[in-house]
Structure formats: C-alpha cells, structure tokens
Amino acid sequence: MTITSDTKIAALLRESPDALEAIISLSPKYNKLRNPLLRKLMASRATIGMASRIGGRTPEDFFRVLEPLGFVVDRSAATAGEEPRTPRPAFMEQLAPEQVQDLDVRPILNADKDPFNLILGKVKELRTGQVLRLINDFEPIPLIQLLGKQGFESWSEVIDGGTFHTWFFKSGEACLPYTQPKGSSDDFDARVEQFADRTTTIDVRHLEMPLPMLTILDALEHLPEGHALYVDHKRIPVF
C-alpha cells in the first residue's frame, strides 16, 4: 500500500494490524487508539498529517515506523506541504469574545465522571448567536453529529499538539428538544414488548468515561429505522 500524509489512520490499520503498535510507539498521546471505540472514532477521521500534529510528531516519523511493515511512502506527495484544512465557517470569522462560553471537560473525564449532562446544560443555556467552546483531548465526533442534527454548526481545531477545541454555534434554527424521561414501569414494560423483535442491546456498565456516552451515540447512529436501543447503564442517560 502506498501512503502519504493524507492517508487515513483507519486505512493503515485495515492494511496491517501491526500498524497500531507502530503508531502507538511514537507518542503516549496515541494510547487512546488501544480502545476499540475511540480507535473507530479517531482513526476514521484522522490522516497521518493530522495525527502527527496531535502527537507532536512529523509525517516522516510515521513513515519511518510504517515502512518496515511493507508500506510504500510517496514522499513527493508527502512533502508538497501541509494537508489542506477545512475552511473556517462563517460564524468563526465573525465571532466576538463575549459570544463564547468555555467548557473544559478534561478534569471531569480524568475524575472518571461523565460530562455529558454538564455539556447539555451549557448548550441549552446558549442564546442565539452564542458559541460553546468545548475543550477536550479528542474530537467529540458523536456529539458533533448529534448537535448537528439539531441545527448547531460546529468547528474543531487542534491546539498545542493534543488539545481539541470544538466550537458549537447556536443559530436561530438550532434547538434541543430533549426532555427528562417520564413514565411508569408499566409504560417501560409496554415499550420493551412493543420492540421485542426490533431491539439492539448494549451494556456500558463496565466502561470508563466517556465511553458509555460514545458507545450509546455510536449505536444510535447505526440503529435501523423503527428499532429500539436497550442500554444497561449505571445511570440514566439523558442524551
């Protein structure tokens, strides 16, 4: 397989399972790739060029550990320059400091707590034209997809090699129609019976934060139309 700085990490892992350990050897910041779910979320989006910036490495470092695995490097393409970045959306160009609400969830995740309720609360507090800047160690792709369906625009960028700033902009059309689940046990039993032959079951009780949230959102993203998701969780997921 011929690779350049634009090659997706997911393509490397499909071509050679040994590529995982080779990449992880370059920086402790790549240890997240050991987790299957985070690997799926991160590797499908990140190119060698992007991953090198996240880990404080260079594309050449990747080529050095991947060539012994049989990968062929096209250095003419690799040295052509920085990989093109997605243009900044209009809301980022017109943003004033007073429009931005910051939320750093890294301490919450490091304490093995789920920050989603806090994130959701901050998003609900946004007025039209305001932005939530979420600070994290990885790009929250499921959250971007979820809020995107509710009309929120987003933009992510890597800061200082390994910190993601993700901006969520509330336009006039954006809204969050979420409500606290209500109903009796009889209602719940009736729902379970209704979807008896159309239910996907997942158990997230053993997962560390933020994997329960990511696992549930990923499962919802791939849930067939008209099917239900049954979740075994240690707490009530409100998203």
**9-23, 94-108, 144-158: least confident range:** 144-158
- Which of 122-129's residues contact partners 24+ apart within 8 Å by CB, and which partners? 123/147, 123/152, 123/168, 123/170, 123/176, 124/176, 125/101, 126/101, 126/168, 126/170, 127/170, 128/170, 128/171, 128/172, 128/174, 129/99, 129/170, 129/171
pTM higher than the cut 0.85: no
pLDDT of 80 reads 44
- Which CATH number is correct for 90-169, 1.10.287, 1.10.3860, 3.30.110, 2.30.30? 3.30.110
pLDDT of 139 reads 76
pLDDT of 191 reads 74
Quote the radius of gyration of the chain (alpha carbons, Å): 20
Q: Where in the chain is the domain with CATH 1.10.3910.10?
A: 2-78
Q: How far apart are CA 32 and CA 22, in angstroms?
A: 14
**Residues 2-78, CATH architecture:** Orthogonal Bundle (1.10)
